[in-house]
Amino acid sequence: MDLPKAFRIAMADRYEIEARIADGSVASVFLANDIRHGRRVALKVLHPDASAAFSDVRFVREIKFLAHLQHPHILALYDSGLAAGLLYYVMPYVPGESLRARLDREKHLAVRDAARIACQLAGALDYAHRHGVVHRDIKPENVLLAETNVMLMDFGIARAIGLAAGEQLTSPLAVGPGTPAYMSPEQFIPGAELDGRTDIYSLGVVVYETLSGELPFDPAGGRTALMRKLGQPAPSLTTVMSAVSPAIAGVVARALAVEPNDRYSSAAEFANALEAAANAGTAPVAHPDVQAHATGAPGGGRFPARYRVAVAIVVVALIALGVRLAMPR
């Protein structure tokens, strides 16, 4: 997206816009000079159609709420507003590359490198979750690799965009609710309440891709493939990448559990389990079903509780019928 002249004029006393550095489906990012503070920043401007669909008051209010997040692995928010009909927000400019760019170049990463990145991201998520904020859009494009430091970008922007659009973020048709290939199963359910465990699932997808170079579910399959998340566990990492140990596969399998209650209770717990598995190569304590699925053993993978109850009822009924038929007339 090229910035209209009216926007540049409206921002001229605050930001000197130098060049466009990235484009996305909802916004474009520009390198700019913060005139007031003498620093380089990343200016993210929502596309005209997106800006026109949103309530600028609600968007800016949500952005201000997110500005209080201060963590070494969260890219801070400097400023936000409306200029010439376009919504924008401002972040620090940090030289580096996205995790997506690195995966495009290397396909997958070594276990120690992948674990280091995941643990830093989990630290950022744990901090945000304890402050009542859920990211909702964890994906490689939102992970910035700056030397040895990892930073999570666009924290809570999906929530701000969704509320500004007057849509429920859990609706797959809402603007900016997340990226389908990385969304948790509950994000596909309209009206579902989301908490930090939805971010744990999305981070699990990122770890899966970082280690194997593949997504657990192929987004090219369309709606049918995505809806499989609602009732089926992800394929084990060991089936697509033999170099990954069963211990690490077990950790990732638990993060990708269909039911939120079967996942790690916090991002910190996920990070500790992944770090232990990467260092020692031994499986952390996990649910037996998760471990069986991770090692490819028969019966691996969990189904939601409502399905297990239904199966149990059917089995009991069949047993009762068999006993009755076996009795003498």
User: What's the whole-number average pLDDT of the chain?
Assistant: 79
How much is the pLDDT for 163? 57
How much is the pLDDT for 160? 61
Quick check: 253 pLDDT over 70? yes
How much is the pLDDT for 243? 87
Quick check: 57 pLDDT over 90? no
How many other CB atoms are there within 10 angstroms of residue 96's CB atom? 16
How many Å apart are CA 149 and CA 246, to the nearest integer?
28
The least confident of 36-40, 166-170, 242-246 is: 166-170
How much is the pLDDT for 129? 93
Quick check: 322 pLDDT over 90? no
Quick check: 184 pLDDT over 80? yes
> Helical H runs in 88-132?
99-106, 111-130
How much is the pLDDT for 210? 97
Quick check: 90 pLDDT over 70? yes
How much is the pLDDT for 176? 37
How many other CB atoms are there within 10 angstroms of residue 293's CB atom? 25
Residue spans per domain, the chain? 5-92, 97-309
> Which amino acid is located at 51 in the chain?
S
What Cα–Cα distance (Å) separates residue 75 from each residue in 23, 32, 68, 112, 162? 18, 16, 12, 23, 20
- Give the active site residues: 137
DSSP class of 3: P
Quick check: 145 pLDDT over 80? yes
CATH of domain 5-92: 3.30.200.20
Domain 97-309 in this protein, CATH class = mainly alpha
Predicted structure pTM score: 0.77
- Beta-carbon contacts of residue 121 (< 8 Å; ≥ 6 apart): 73, 138, 143, 150, 152, 203, 206
